[in-house]
Amino acid sequence: MASFVLRRLLQALPVFAGILLICFLLFKLSGDPTRLLAGERAPEYVRESIRHKFHLDEPWYRQLGFFASGMVNGELRSYRHDRPVVEMILEGAAVTLRLALGAIVIAVAFGLLAGLLSAYRPHSWIDYLSAAGSSVGVSVPAFWLAMLLTLLFSVHLGWLPIGGYRPGHLEYLVIPVATLGLISMALIARLSRNCLMEAMTQDYVRTARAKGLGGFQALVGHAFPNALVPVVTVIGTNLAGLMTGAVLTETTCSLPGLGRIIFQAISERDHPVILGGCLFFAFVFVFVNLCVDILYGLLDPRIRHHE
């Protein structure tokens, strides 16, 4: 197991290097950074001193080296806020992780429940309702759903605050978590229904029924554990989508999460923060997919990770 984990992390290294390169390329393509940092009409000596301060007067491979080593030892600083990038990212990640975890818990719990009920009674009203809900759910822009929920619960009913964030006050997280949760729930409900329906046609389920097991017991006891494998994969691969949704949801709900920090950094051309944020997202992505692969082994003993 340890060697499997190690090998997967080594395989992820090219991905991190690739992200570093893509971010650096976009940095070089986006023009003179001193134009935004010092203003359009700043005199040349001011620009020079800024370039010198951030090592921008050195050849490109040295600059790339500064980015890479600064990321590794945590000394890379923001161009704008005079703070270490790591600090800013961890601050934002604390908010975004709360948001993403809450959304995943809601999505998995209700998504699996909807999938189970639809597979238990195919072509019933609950199946059709769940199918319609998931089709609409994957077609809704996250930011619009957040707007509608705000309109209903904050403006009309007055139950929840309109946007913003205060640490320790969960009521600010309700609308963003519900938004992301509902959207991911749609995917999970649809997928788990299809996987369960397929599992129900398998021989082992027929055997279980022949032994005298009721339909519901066969579904939960025999089909469900087997249908979980693809569902777990989707949760892993859609994490990137969830993070993307988080960018838009955080912007709509003015939540100071990582997505909004990176978005702001992009519009301010604060490249160290963009780089750090993207690497952090990629790290989470690789880590979650590693967990998914380990979970596979636990859910399906046929899949073994050999040398």
Partner 1 sequence: MSEPARGGIAGGLPAGPWQMLWRRMKRNRLALAAFGVVVLIAVLALGAEVVAPYGYQDQFRGGEQQAPNSTKLTRRPGDEAPAERYFLLGTDANARDVFSRIVYGARVSLAVGLLATLVSLAIGLVVGLLSGFYGGWIDACLMRFTDTVFAFPSVLLAVAITATVDKPSLEVVFLALGLVGWTGIARVVRSQVLTIKTQDFVVASRALGARGFHVLVRQIMPNCWGPVIVVTTLAIGGNILGEAGLSFLGLGVQEPYPSWGGMLADAQERYKDAWWLGVFPGLMIVVTVLAFNLFGDGLRDALDPRHTRK
List of residues contacting partner 1 (CB under 8 A):
14-15, 18-19, 22-23, 26, 29-31, 122, 135-136, 138-144, 147-148, 151, 155, 162, 194, 197, 201, 240-241, 243-244, 247-248, 251-252, 259, 262-263, 266-267, 269, 274, 277-278, 281-282, 285-286
- Nearest 5°: phi and psi at 84? -65, 140
Q: How far is the CB of 242 from partner 1 (least distance, A)?
A: 9
Looking at the Cβ atoms of 268 and 299, the one nearer to partner 1 is: 268
* In the complex, minimum distance from the CB of residue 151 to partner 1, in angstroms, rounded to a whole number: 6
Residue with Cβ nearer partner 1 (73 or 139): 139
260/247 Cα distance (integer angstroms): 6
What contacts 209, CB < 8 A, 6 or more positions away? Answer: 215, 218
Between 76 and 279, whose beta carbon lies closer to partner 1?
A: 279
User: Closest distance between partner 1 and the C-beta of residue 52, in Å?
Assistant: 24
Q: CB-wise, 66 or 143, nearer to partner 1?
A: 143
> CB under 8 Å, gap of 24 or more: what pairs does 90-96 form?
91/256, 91/261, 92/256, 92/257, 92/258, 92/259, 92/260, 92/261, 92/277, 93/257, 93/258, 93/280, 95/165, 95/250, 95/255, 95/256, 95/257, 95/258, 96/243, 96/246, 96/250, 96/257, 96/258, 96/259
Quick one: 222 or 269, whose CB is closer to partner 1? 269
CA contacts within 13 A on the Cβ side of 262 = 22
Cβ nearer to partner 1, comparing 86 with 282: 282
CB of 63 vs partner 1, minimal distance in Å = 17
In contact, 167 and 130? CB cutoff 8 Å: no
For residue 287, what are the β-bridge partners?
none
Minimum distance of partner 1 from residue 235's CB (angstroms): 16
**Smallest distance, partner 1 to C-beta of residue 289, A:** 9
- Shortest Å, Cβ 252 to partner 1: 7
Q: How many residues does the chain have?
A: 307
- Specify the 3-state DSSP secondary structure of 77: strand
Cα separation values, 285 from 108, 125, 290, 293, Å: 18, 37, 9, 12
Nearest to partner 1 of 286, 299 (CB atom) = 286
Residues 48, 57: contact at Cβ < 8 Å?
yes
Residues 6+ apart with CB under 8 A from 236: 288, 289, 291, 292
Retrieve residue 147's tokens: 């707007």
Between 289 and 299, name the residue whose CB sits nearer to partner 1: 289
Comparing CB distances to partner 1, the nearer of 233 and 299 is 233
Which residue from 267, 271, 258 is spatially nearest to 77, judged by alpha carbons? 271
Q: Measured from the CB of residue 109, what is the shortest distance to partner 1 in angstroms?
A: 24
Provide, rounded to whole angstroms, the least separation between the CB of residue 207 and partner 1. 20
